[in-house]
Structure 1
Amino acid sequence: MGEASLHVERNTRTASLAGTLVPRPERPHPVPVGQLTDLLLGQSPPITCWRFLPRQGDRFVFEKGVIMFAHNTEELSHLEVIGSTVAMLNKGAKGQLAEAVEEEADLYRSLTAGGNDSHTTALLYGGGPALTNSAGVPWSAAYIDTIDELADLRSNIAAEARAKIIYERLINVTDDAGIKDALGFLMPREIAHQKSFEKALHSIQPNFPQGKLPGDPKFTSVYFDLSKGDDVRGPWNEGPEWQFDGNPKLAVDGGDGTARVNVPKADLETLKAMASRTASNPDVDPTTGADLGAGQETTTK
């Protein structure tokens, strides 16, 4: 007979899980937890999207706001899927740590197998994940960027693309069929969101450049060749849209490249006084702490 096991469930049947997939890992296993935290608390994955999409939805007009709130709700359900997966994976480690069912060395090896570093998470957080990514970096509200409708749509497209790659890499490093099923559902949803944001962006015409002010035509289509070595040419720097400048001037405005500002007379006098007070004397060679520390002889009276 096979080893007896207890089927443990977590109540995830909530409204936030509508239109999603309930995770069912094959067994508790702490190794993947450290990697899965990238999906919980990384810069691009669900929690960041969940926080910035409502800010965009409040500011976007008409149908674009509806799109943001729809995707925002789904990102919340994705957080639930990933969080539930992490909870299921940590079930065994949580009990082992609490009850000390193994010898110390065996327990440590089981938690750190395969180079896994989530033992830190398990020890400090009672078998649960820390609010950090796999590198130990805490999630930050600084990840939330929202500035302009067109710029935000492009940012959302990039965020979905990055999240898709993270899901793909995690699928490649796990052998748990249940985890693969969950990630295999979530990854295509990033593709769907990216397609939706792309359609929303390109349904606005024109959509480039962002904002209202036009760029100075003297600079909007110039490619400055500032690299050394063989020049690689292509549609990104040649053709009817581009003026290729192979030898850029020091200052494109025709000046000598020196930064200048007109300082008021009162401030100028103050700056001169400060420069005089803090001026160095080039005619002396003082003995310094570094000299003394190096054993340099000093003259004594």
Structure 2
Amino acid sequence: MQNQLAQLKKMTKVVADTGDIEAIQRYQPEDATTNPSLILKASLLPSYQLLLEEATSYGKLQSDDVSEQVTHAADWLTVGIGKIIQQQVPGLVSTEVDARLSFNTEATVNKARELLKLYEQQGADPKRVLIKIASTWEGIKAAEILEQEGVRCNLTLLFNFAQAQACAEAGVYLISPFVGRILDWYKKAEEKEFAAAEDPGVQSVTRIYNYFRQHGHKTIVMGASFRNTGEIMELAGCDALTIGPDLLSMLEQADSPVEQKLFENQQGLDTQNNVLDESAFRWAMNEDPMATEKLAEGIRNFAKDQQALEALILQKLG
């Protein structure tokens, strides 16, 4: 029998949640996704030191102002890593906009355009890039503008149904609803363990997937942030799943049958179909302490890792 990873690939697009080229080459995913934390981790690997040097040199050429040099170098490095990953996968690579812009629609749109220009400058294919943006109201509105320009987006840090619904209504190409971080919150709040089928993160993604199929939304659902392979098994059949190297390895080493749980024509019982305006979106977030806390925490942590990356670049510039 084939291993679980090979079985899963037959029913779900498997995306590598890493910037590690060796891991990508080993597990051969169709797509890959990165974030500021993964870019920071990758920038410390020996294989990326030459690219880090190139990035600092690029930054120096763009401005005499040190802070601007750091920004330019960080963007160049992020795109450079994306380009290398793009050479290893046949499909798409997600590149994230600076998390500190999460509440600024115009700045997010402008940064996305800059990143795509850098992909072009580096000789990569901007059409094979997904611009990754936090699922704030401002981020969703930025994605709506970009999608209308033909730029496909991946909306991340997505923890509840309202975020997903707003993304679908904005015509977003893909969403990354988080599973493991939802589980983390409920385990702490309720002081209990959850079986995979009862996992609140699994249930959240299942509801979103079924709702999208039921109402004809074209937005791709890509489950993310997994804590164990049980969560992955419960979402087999989802459009896509982005999985880190440790869990990919576990799937590769296991050979028990993988049963498809989500289906394209599966009919849910969710009749919610009122279009969300800004006030309804913000109220839905306000009423969901888990989503509010995890979204804010995720933005803070990505911003922290972006700042750590910039500190590393500043050291190189110095």
Fold equivalence (TM over 0.5): no
Pick 1 or 2: higher relative contact order, CA cutoff 8 A, min separation 6: 2
Name the structure with the higher helix share. 2
TM-score normalised according to structure 2 size:
0.22
